[in-house]
Structure 1
Amino acid sequence: MNINHNLAYRVRLQLLNSGRVLIALFIFSIYFSTSLAVIFSVGLGLVWLLSTRFIDLPGVLKKYPVALWALMLYGCFILGLSYGNAAGSDAVSMASKYRELLFIPILISLLTAERNRYWAWRTFIAASVITLLVSYLMDLGILNLNEQGGACFKSRITHGIFIAFFAFFCAHKIYDDKRYAKLYLALFVLCLYNLFFVIEGRTGQLIVVALILLFAMQRMAIKECLFAALITAVLLILFLNFSDKASRITEGVANTQAFLQPVPEQTESSMGQRYTFWKYSLKLMAEKPLLGHGTGSFAKEYQRIAIGEPFITKNPHNEFLMIGVQLGLLGLLVYLGFLASQLYCARKLPFQQKWLAQGLLLSLVIASLFNTPFFDHTEGHWYAAMIALCFAALGSDNKIISSDA
């Protein structure tokens, strides 16, 4: 019996060690390869099952409200399969797109060991630096990895989210890591230049400005914070008025003004289209406010209600509306609960993790206003991994992880 027990323990320990490697590979692959991210996510699921970590799931859900709310949100999508007029294939496809919510409790249970988190953060840094370097090489014409011609490996929106949060991370490292403070300062400047003068993605620009202000509130005294806000405002005004790279921002402002006219003007820009998508999405929510139209119903219902519109979408580019149309107020309240749980739990984290978790949440909220981060594969897997990485530190002293320390 002891031999069998020792053998089982060694096998389980080996699986958990391989899980550490798979987590690093999974995080790295999110930045560069969708297919590899899927493969490594399956591997992590198998490690979680074969190492019997699933036995700890009730304890994980109890000690990590973020994981519980993520599971509840996915449960709403499963519930939404039971009603609505969406084709079965569309409904199942939609539910599968939100499967990354399931990885939050799985990854948390594998990241409770401090050593696993250490290597996960190192992988995040490496992937971010490579992403930044590749972007500059593409901008210089040395590399050509984007068929659409942009200077980023992924989409402009995805790249902006990644680099904006990395800039926020570097800002904290400038304060905390005196040994490499100059290196992180250089990376921070490179991130800002990349976002405003190379990629020019509005989502990334908005997120990084918000994160800079959040950083000032987190780390500075009131007078310093006000001064930082003033400097940020002055630099933005100069950028908007004197840089030819600000055209997409001014275009977005013009589209907003056109939409707010007594008779809204139709525009063909991405921002103008978003306003139209949101208008019809709100009408769909008003039709079935409580439970929505069912999982996978958005595309069909939007096509029904937006008759005569030149642009028909399968995605409203707003996570709140995407969930609200399909799952009604029930799903929307659960998503808000998921966000609120991050705000609540972040307060219990050590300072560095708390600050990063707050920044990640702010990034997610902004991304959810203008895009559908959990509907989109890359952003969804990235947010799931980063949420798990930030909040796994909550259980660093409890019994769930002590057995694997």
Structure 2
Amino acid sequence: MTVIAETPKLSLQGKLRDPAAWIRTVDILVILLALSLPWSTSLVGIFGALIVIAMLPFFEVRAFVRTVQRPISWVPITLFLLALVGTLWSDAAWGARLYAVGPTAKLLVLPFLLYHFERSERGLWVFIAFLVSCTVMVVASWTVTFFPDLTLKAKDVASRGIFVKNYIDQSQEFALCAVALAYPVVMLLRAKKTVPALLLCVLALSFIANMAFVIVSRTALVTMPIMLAVFGVLHLRWRTTLMILCAAAAVGVVAWFVSPQLEATVNSFKRDYQLYMEHGTPTSMGERLEYYRKSLKFFAEAPIVGHGTGSTRGLFEAAATGPAGLAAAQVVSNPHNQTLNVAVQWGVTGIVVLYAMWLLHLLLFRGEGVANWIGLLVVVQNIFTSLFNSHVFDFHEGWMYVVGVGVAGGMVLKARAPEKAGTSNAC
């Protein structure tokens, strides 16, 4: 009679001493963060802190130092440190200075995610969790479109089809998911796995349909074609890319005539510009043009190191002119452009650090594979949406960047490790 030995179960004390258990715990926390990202700001902040805390019991200091020594890690840290040091030459109140440091603090989590997912096997689970969460959000968006009273937003600020948060955040999520699915669809079709490819196509179209017929931000409208073009250039033959672009243009024309919501969103570009130029009305586009004009002036006044952390609002207060209802009288703490936001506070120094971070992260995701594709797409989206918003510093989009680059970057570094080891052994 053969006796099968049972694997001994670890006691609670044994689990607390088991590195694998702590890695699994961190994995779960990151997955929970990804699940909560489309829904909650408080939970994201809580899980972000817990992720770092859960790494500490079996933290390999030397390995983490090696991670931090990589430019992809220390350049984002440098942007945080610049914001911290920039408080020293700012004229703003100390409360405003320290408050302005806060949006850069999330970048400190990025090296921890790179370090962890260079060791974890569950990086893809994080992206699946985010996709599942956004899919549920699509259902919620359609639901509150037909039953507006079900929204969790206050009635005076609720937008059509928004269950929680706002239409800008929701559009960034849906655009990212829709374009990100293009890669696995193409890979599945090449492997002749038609059914799962069609299912993912339907899922991608559900995101696009929501943006076309419910609500979409103008930022997503501008940047989504760029993201699709990047995919075509990297992963398709030029003829296929041209065919897809033509088909997308045809779908866009049809959607234009079928969807009053999409037509109104596109027409708002021209309307907002005319109202601002002719009457100084503070429309969305008019306000941005006013913010950009004044921010360039502030930058010219202190081009090297800027006016200091948290100085933006005070500068706009001093430059406000005209009656309260005009765009020229608007006072803001954020010029709605990432480059100008950095330039006003930290000058050319800040711009160099910001663009170095983007460039390094773009270069990190060279190559094939789903991790490279997702990481590249996250960076590309952040760069181009930051033309119209400060999406590195904004809470939701900033966390999308940190999680996307951190998890995908760790996966890429893990995949490249055997190649480096093989090269070393060959030498």
Same fold (TM over 0.5): yes
Higher RCO (CA < 8 A, seq sep 6+):
1
The answer on 1:204 being equivalent to 2:220 is yes
Name the CA distance, whole Å, in 1 between partners of 2:89 and 2:117.
36
Within the candidate set 397, 402, 407, 1:379 is matched to 397
Name the CA distance, whole Å, in 1 between partners of 2:379 and 2:249.
23
Name the CA distance, whole Å, in 2 between partners of 1:385 and 1:104.
7
The answer to which of 338-347 and 158-167 deviates more is 338-347
The answer on 1:40 being equivalent to 2:58 is no
5+ residue gaps, structure 1: 1-5
- Name the residue aligned to 1:22: 29
The answer on 1:138 being equivalent to 2:144 is yes
Give the superposed CA RMSD: 2.4
3-state secondary structure, aligned to 2:333: coil
CA contact (8 A) 1:53 1:109 kept: no
> Shift in Å at residue 14 of structure 1?
2.8
The answer on 1:252 being equivalent to 2:252 is no
Within the candidate set 149, 157, 169, 2:168 is matched to 157
> Shift in Å at residue 273 of structure 1?
0.9
Name the CA distance, whole Å, in 2 between partners of 1:286 and 1:242.
46
Within the candidate set 344, 348, 359, 2:377 is matched to 359
- Name the residue aligned to 1:281: 295
Q: What amino acid sits opposite 1:166 in the alignment?
A: C
Within the candidate set 180, 194, 211, 1:195 is matched to 211
Name the CA distance, whole Å, in 2 between partners of 1:87 and 1:394.
43
Name the CA distance, whole Å, in 2 between partners of 1:350 and 1:10.
37
The answer on 1:293 being equivalent to 2:312 is no
Within the candidate set 240, 247, 252, 1:224 is matched to 240
Superposed CA offset, 1:46-84 (max 9, x none): 123333245423211344x32222112112112212211
3-state secondary structure, aligned to 1:39: helix
Does the C-alpha gap of structure 1 residues 8 and 194 become closer, same or farther in structure 2, counting only changes over 3 Å?
closer
5+ residue gaps, structure 2: 1-12, 323-327, 422-427
The answer on 1:343 being equivalent to 2:336 is no
CA contact (8 A) 1:138 1:145 kept: no
> Shift in Å at residue 237 of structure 1?
4.3
User: How high is the TM-score relative to the length of structure 2?
Assistant: 0.85
- Name the residue aligned to 1:126: 132
Within the candidate set 171, 174, 177, 2:182 is matched to 171
3-state secondary structure, aligned to 1:293: coil
The answer on 1:334 being equivalent to 2:353 is yes
Name the CA distance, whole Å, in 1 between partners of 2:393 and 2:238.
38
Q: What amino acid sits opposite 1:233 in the alignment?
A: A
Q: What amino acid sits opposite 2:168 in the alignment?
A: I
Name the CA distance, whole Å, in 1 between partners of 2:346 and 2:406.
25
CA contact (8 A) 1:100 1:381 kept: yes
Superposed CA offset, 1:185-235 (max 9, x none): 111111111112111311122232222222222232111212222333344
User: How high is the TM-score relative to the length of structure 1?
Assistant: 0.89
Does the C-alpha gap of structure 1 residues 7 and 190 become closer, same or farther in structure 2, counting only changes over 3 Å?
closer
Name the CA distance, whole Å, in 2 between partners of 1:390 and 1:277.
34
Q: What amino acid sits opposite 2:391 in the alignment?
A: P
